[in-house]
Structure 1
């Protein structure tokens, strides 16, 4: 396969704190301390990492009302509109998941039910950016799934309560809201303390420490995804606008200094002009201090010989976001399978998915799209089955089949359960059955 790099990633040692810190060890120590000391350890680490130690981390109803009253009405209206979009799509997803019962043999009934998780923790990051949209994606979707208890945690930002984020958490449907961040928030929700009830599942993005906490706690609780840096890949042909391509690449590069942005194009001219446009736009982009690092270090421009090859290369990357700026963008629906989400045509951009269009923005990274999709209603549901045999003859026949199948696997106890039904309902005789 012919492949030419007009720009190639040049990864180097990161200056991020996680690059010089033993993240797993730090996270393990915090989790162990919170298991042992509960709220005292939560407060200790909140003071240490966030310089935040309020009288109560949990917001009261009065606190929430006062905080929301301080948020501009336009922001409140926008939050409600975005959440309505997310809710509309999530409801369509929920309607696609069906409970059913079928009679597979005379008198043999098999069924499926989709039961919501009982208690969910939603982590909404602060840090560099207050990610209001994460409240929409994690909490609205959980509520549509029928989750009855949702705890929302978000960190303070520069020592202040993030008012708009609190509004988003409340309007999304969080039942309890804590201004609490980092590993201490994730650990408190996962193990449970006097202050924070234990959850069954945690969703939401975060930094390297939050991601590692979720990884270490997975199994004890469920999680949405093992999250890595945001990724964007654009497939473009000669019809694409280099200015738009550059704009959309940089829109994702600003997420963090390790967020890769990749262009795969069939046009050398489009590729070269996009590189020039990125450099030009970085001169005026207010987040260029971040975007310049990620684009310079992890950005790539790949020249493909034709559009089918471009789609094949894109599937090899298996990126989180894939934007298709080609003459026939819907061709990608048939040609590609490895992506978190597709964004088709120039009227659609990845930022719509991140912020407002309604699909979920919690998506697989680091090649995980090869085996999983992103956060959706189904992640908050447990698909369980049930069985009931009402026909005696069929139970006896199944008993005979069970006995033979189990003995082929040397499971005598299993076989005897089948034998007993064959004896009870078909009159079969077995030496081991001695009851009167």
Structure 2
């Protein structure tokens, strides 16, 4: 293995930058927790130059936003949301509830219960991320969440009509014009006018990500997310033109978005490098994509496909795209990725925007231990137990007495003692004078 461009880099912030972000976030959360709507208005004015009488959109305002959106765009939003809903329903169908008699008289089971409420954050900023509304809200509704509220920024008071339309069509029950840390804090801790939620989902900048990190535990979150990542696997059969297009398509997310190309062919690697330089000259988002390619872009030549697969798993990228001669080999060999895209008919951007799988995915090597947002994130898989026979209760009571005393948990042991004694009539000494 050797690098033709770049080298493996860390995507973590510097210690000073991370500390500064964390302190700012902590201060905003504490202030909103203490002063509620008053603090929310001040931060919205400071960061977004917008402080309306009410952050919540009325039904009339929502319908006015929908009316502003091009009919073709509305049709496309509905189509994509149907695709997301279809896949989420397939995921839901894969989750099984059960009840079983595991031994005579002992019944155990599990249920999947939706969380009570979800807050979906739909970013604004550089790009209006309509797809984030589909991924966070539609999936929550398929899971059965009763209350789904959404927040999206309105910098300078400019209401993002297309984002509002996407949020509304996805099924949000409440929509707030709020951005950044103040939005995440309001969703998590609540204010006089915003009831808090149980889970917060959706991407955002470094401040949004750190707000979710700090609030995790008080609320559930989808993921600890960083900049968008892509790693593409290629060989001598890979079309350099396609590989370059797809690398830059992800690099345009931001100047810190890693785009990595791993190929078994040095000639192919040089061809991809050449294509990227040529395409950056005509790409409208070249200022951003070019910065990402310069800062965190890499081209690696692997000795063979085995080594390429090992490199891919080491990076554990958010998106792994396989443009090799036999792309389905990756299904058998790769284990660490957020989402896998097989063959040159399947662009990562399909997953970002239209195909129906969820695009909220693990970054910063988190794919080593978690997958992305899915319908199960909005469900609590809980267990229940019922003993229906005296004999089974006595049998487990005796076992509990011995097991608990081995750990010196006398109180636990006594819970077992009394259930066994009710059947056997052999009451232990400690119960004397208590019954």
Query: Shorter-chain TM-score category?
Result: over 0.9
Structure 1 counterpart of 2:103: 105
TM-score (normalised: structure 1)? 0.97
The Cα shift of 1:52 comes to 0.8
Aligned partners of 1:55, 1:68: CA distance in 2, in Å? 22
Aligned partners of 1:80, 1:157: CA distance in 2, in Å? 26
Q: C-alpha offsets along residues 310-331 of structure 1, whole Å, 9 cap, x if unaligned?
A: 1111000000000000111111
Alpha-carbon distance change, 55 to 292 in structure 1, aligned in 2, over 3 angstroms: same
Structure 2 counterpart of 1:71: 69
**Aligned-partner SS, 1:373:** coil
Aligned partners of 2:132, 2:204: CA distance in 1, in Å? 10
Alpha-carbon distance change, 14 to 296 in structure 1, aligned in 2, over 3 angstroms: farther
Aligned partners of 1:332, 1:157: CA distance in 2, in Å? 43
**Which of the residues 229, 232, 243 maps onto 1:231?**
229
**Which of the residues 324, 331, 334 maps onto 2:332?**
334
Q: C-alpha offsets along residues 259-317 of structure 1, whole Å, 9 cap, x if unaligned?
A: 00001100101111111111110001111111111101101111111111111110000
Query: Does residue 364 of structure 2 align to residue 366 of structure 1?
Result: yes
The Cα shift of 1:35 comes to 0.6
Structure 2 counterpart of 1:404: 402
Structure 2 counterpart of 1:306: 304
Structure 1 counterpart of 2:315: 317
Aligned partners of 2:150, 2:249: CA distance in 1, in Å? 27
Q: Does the aligned pair in 2 maintain the 1:9–1:296 contact within 8 Å?
A: no
Structure 2 counterpart of 1:85: 83
Structure 1 counterpart of 2:94: 96
**Which of the residues 45, 57, 67 maps onto 2:55?**
57
Structure 1 counterpart of 2:425: 427
Structure 1 counterpart of 2:283: 285
Q: Does the aligned pair in 2 maintain the 1:231–1:320 contact within 8 Å?
A: yes
TM-score (normalised: structure 2)? 0.97
**Which of the residues 27, 42, 45 maps onto 1:44?**
42
Structure 1 counterpart of 2:133: 135
Aligned partners of 2:256, 2:372: CA distance in 1, in Å? 21
Q: Does the aligned pair in 2 maintain the 1:340–1:373 contact within 8 Å?
A: yes
**Which of the residues 149, 156, 177 maps onto 1:179?**
177
Query: Does residue 259 of structure 2 align to residue 261 of structure 1?
Result: yes
The Cα shift of 1:56 comes to 1.6
Q: Does the aligned pair in 1 maintain the 2:48–2:154 contact within 8 Å?
A: yes
**Aligned-partner SS, 1:55:** coil
Q: Which runs of 5+ in 2 are unaligned?
A: none
Alpha-carbon distance change, 374 to 144 in structure 1, aligned in 2, over 3 angstroms: same
Q: Where does structure 1 differ by over 4 angstroms across 4 or more consecutive aligned residues?
A: 10-16, 18-21
Query: Does residue 210 of structure 2 align to residue 212 of structure 1?
Result: yes
Q: Does the aligned pair in 2 maintain the 1:318–1:339 contact within 8 Å?
A: yes
Structure 2 counterpart of 1:116: 114
Alpha-carbon distance change, 219 to 352 in structure 1, aligned in 2, over 3 angstroms: same
Aligned length: 433
Aligned partners of 1:170, 1:360: CA distance in 2, in Å? 19
RMSD: 1.7
The Cα shift of 1:194 comes to 1.1
Q: Does the aligned pair in 2 maintain the 1:71–1:163 contact within 8 Å?
A: yes
Structure 2 counterpart of 1:32: 30
